[in-house]
Structure 1
Amino acid sequence: MGESRRVPSAAGPPLATTVSGPLDSSTPVVLVHGMGGDRSTWRMFAGELRSRGRTVVSFDLRGHGRTGPGDSYRLGDFRDDLAAVVDHLGVDRVDLVGHSLGAHTALRYAMAEPGRVRRMVLEEVPPMPRDDADLAEAITPSATFGERIRGVAAVIANPGPLLRYDRALGAPVTEAFGVAEPQWWCGLSKVTAPTLVVSGGRRSFLPARHLRDLAYALPSGDFLTIDAGHSIHRDRPVEFARAASAHLG
């Protein structure tokens, strides 16, 4: 449901985008999917938002879905894709909801353009490593064996994201999270949007303590655990929708 668009990006392929609802009635909610997914992974949550009268925008990041491959897969490139979509909408501010790499992308955008983000929900957001101790934990937007097993049913039901995923982006993204960036943590102070950080708890490969640290490093951050693993909006959709919708207002 919604109008399909191809949004030009600054230095990448046109971004396959869906806009559901008017852009002049309320702050739109922009959904940013994780690595290996596409905008269809938000279908249930997008429906919940629409039932609450929200305008919903979702798009496929470069290397995913119907956007197709990109020439570059730096973390800043994904942020620029999101920026292109927000600029295309022609609105002053948006709400952002992101998952995994998409959550990291949303956070990078909010750090660069704090005045454009009203409220934000970050599901299983991977932080940049702070030091050698963080690097030793090898935290990247991937998945454990258990998470892959839980995702088999989702792939069978919706194989499109996996089939269209450009596997060439895996290495540069993993390498980017293999470099300590303590200054990235300093940049969190620039984010002005009230932000809910949601952890998948003990089932996730991302240690909850790192997500908690990130939430409390934000000027207006809050933290919530839903013990579901890395894909909370997929595996615990009702609880995720309730928490995210309450935060977005």
Structure 2
Amino acid sequence: MKKKILFFEDLGKKEYKETWEYQKRLFYDIIQKKVNNISYQKAGYFLFVEHPHVYTIGKNGKKNKHLLVTSDFLKKINATFYQTDRGGDITYHGPGQLIGYPILNMDYFFTDIHKYLRLLEEVIIHFLWKNYGIKGERKKGKTGVWFHNNVVEKSRKICAIGIKISRWVTMHGFALNVNTDLRYFDHIIPCGIYNQEVTSLKKELKKNDISFKEVKQMVKKSFQEIFDVEFMPITKK
């Protein structure tokens, strides 16, 4: 069976707002083509990016409860804040964290939101096990990838997921902590979940630093395998 083709682009380090606007342009372009029954030969896009310090919250998130600091404090730590159009609650993005934004036309895959979320989790679970031999897991009733200590309150979250779907086109995606400064999570209730820890690949492997370049390549391969796709580079005009 012929693999689905996605345009791939590594945006490097880029501000959250600029990336969000870029996502929306790609997202609405696919939707517009669907609405007008215009043939679209590719199944969508997959973007990698690394953001400067920023806190984002989903459309139903509770800023007053889950953001623990003031706007002035955010300025002191060089962080910005955005209310977004994705699902989920509050999270942090920053240097050393790999963000993956799949902008997919789900007509090429399947039309099942829960299956899509589980496959995004599976990409990270597959990446962790295949490359590092560590077992990432799901947490009942929650979205993301975790490590467990056999005590629910002490589970450690390594990857957050928040998405938007409209007319079966996706945007937003996952945030994998690689070399992330975890102290920035102290200023929020991550994903609105109390009594949880946040971790990183660097912390779990007890290393000074993890090759970000290598992680990108490995996550990319896991995404290709789990979603059964091939990547094509975006050619800028």
Normalising by structure 2, what TM-score?
0.32
Of Structure 1 and Structure 2, which has the larger fraction of its residues in strand?
2
Normalising by structure 1, what TM-score?
0.31
Of Structure 1 and Structure 2, which has the larger fraction of its residues in helix?
1
Q: Highest Rg: 1 or 2?
A: 2
